[in-house]
Chain A
Amino acid sequence: MDQILFLILSGLAICGALAVIFSKSPVYSVLALVLTFFSIAGHYALLNANFLFIVHIIVYAGAILVLFLFVIMLLNLNKEAEAKQPILIKLAAFISGGLFLFTLFGALKGMDLIITEKAPSTNIGSVEVLGQVLFNDFILPFEISSVLFLSAMIGAVMLGKKDLKEN
């Protein structure tokens, strides 16, 4: 059952990822990205990582994709024809990406099969365990990430303002 779910989710994720980079319109790319993100969230659920499952859906589907869609609608980019990359550069891109994949697979080929033993008793991905780790060992990075968010927010507002000098 797990394996069938894994295969279905992997197929959905890869098809969505391919649709993201090959679709003509940015809106369709965003919709394909939604598919990919939800299938990755399904993978998290399959791995028994409940906290990250929820956080992934909230952050990606709830915030980032809405932001993407909002920018696309705001700029009205759907009609604009995209300039094509020269065929030589396209070929080089596919060759380099394929070589990267080939290298990783080659490295994997010499490795033994690593079996993940399913241990339902160890609830590593639960909110309780992650909260303990986050607020004991990682309290400083957690606080620093709040500063990061504040600076990102200020930066976005500053960049988004129309005329900084006149106001």
Chain B
Amino acid sequence: MNNFLNLSNSLNNYIILASILFAIGIIGVLVRKNIIIMFMSIELMLNAINLLMVAFSVHHGDPQGQVFVFFIMAVAAAEITVGLAILVMIYRNTGSVSIDALKKLKW
């Protein structure tokens, strides 16, 4: 792959970086059992998408992409707030933050 050799400030580099970050987020969600780490991996994935969106927005000269990133950040903040509140509730009821505590949710 010659994209790694050509180090100009191209959009392809941002696509590669965002793909790697997104894949790390996916692996984090699948590998870990701690719910907090899973939340952090979700944040990583959201950030990868944000970075890619900003790169494309700058490339096309269109500010609407950056406005979308702003909204994604707002939704992520709300999501983390509610998620951590649910996490505190789970810890209070089961005494653990492992995803195994929620096995009853499985079909």
Task: List chain A positions with a Cβ less than 8 A from chain B.
Answer: 2-3, 6-7, 10, 13-14, 17-18, 20-21, 26, 29-30, 33, 36-37, 40, 43-44, 47-49, 51-52, 55-56, 59-60, 63-64, 67-68, 71-72, 74-75, 77, 80, 82-85, 89-90, 92-94, 96-98, 100-101, 104-105, 108-109, 111, 113-116, 118-119, 122, 124-125, 129-130, 133-134, 137-138, 141, 145, 148-149, 152-153, 155-157, 159-160, 162
Within 8 A of A (CB), among B46-68: 47, 50-51, 54-55, 57-59, 61-64, 66-67
Total A-B contacts with CB atoms under 8 angstroms apart: 238
Minimum Cβ distance to chain B for residue A7 (Å) = 7
Known contacts: A100-B26, A141-B71. The answer to whether A30 contacts B96 by CB under 8 A is no
CB pair A48 B23 closer than 8 Å: no
What distance in Å separates the Cβ of A151 from its nearest Cβ neighbour in chain B? 8
Q: Are A26 and B82 in contact (CB under 8 A)?
A: no
Chain B residues whose C-beta falls within 8 Å of the C-beta of A115 in the assembled complex: 8-11
Q: A14-B17, A71-B87, A159-B85 are in contact. Are A105 and B39 (CB under 8 A)?
A: no
* B20 closest partner in A (C-beta): A14
Q: Could you say which residues of chain A place their CB within 8 Å of the CB of B70?
A: 51-52, 55, 130, 134
Given known pairs A29-B40, A124-B63, the reply for A52 and B32 (CB within 8 Å) is no
Chain B contacts for A17, CB-based, 8 A: 20-21, 24-25, 44
Are A26 and B36 neighbours in the complex by a CB distance under 8 Å? yes
Report if A133-B71 is in contact (Cβ < 8 Å); known contacts: A6-B9, A21-B28, A108-B16: no
Are A105 and B16 in contact, CB atoms less than 8 angstroms apart? Answer: yes
Chain B residues whose C-beta falls within 8 Å of the C-beta of A141 in the assembled complex: 71
Q: Select which of A2, A14, A119 is within 8 A of B9 by beta carbon.
A: A2
* Interface residue tally for chain B (C-beta within 8 Å): 75
Contacts from B to A (Cβ < 8 Å): 1, 3, 6-17, 19-28, 30-34, 36-37, 39-41, 43-44, 47, 50-51, 54-55, 57-59, 61-64, 66-67, 69-71, 73-82, 84-89, 91-92, 96-98, 100
Q: B66 contacts A130, CB within 8 Å?
A: yes
Please measure, in the bound complex, the distance between the C-alpha atom of A153 and the C-alpha atom of B59, giving whole angstroms: 36
Complex A-B: 26 CB contacts under 8 Å: A6-B9, A17-B21, A17-B24, A26-B37, A29-B36, A29-B37, A36-B44, A47-B54, A47-B55, A52-B69, A60-B47, A64-B76, A64-B77, A82-B32, A82-B33, A82-B34, A105-B1, A105-B19, A113-B8, A113-B10, A114-B10, A115-B9, A149-B77, A159-B82, A159-B85, A159-B88
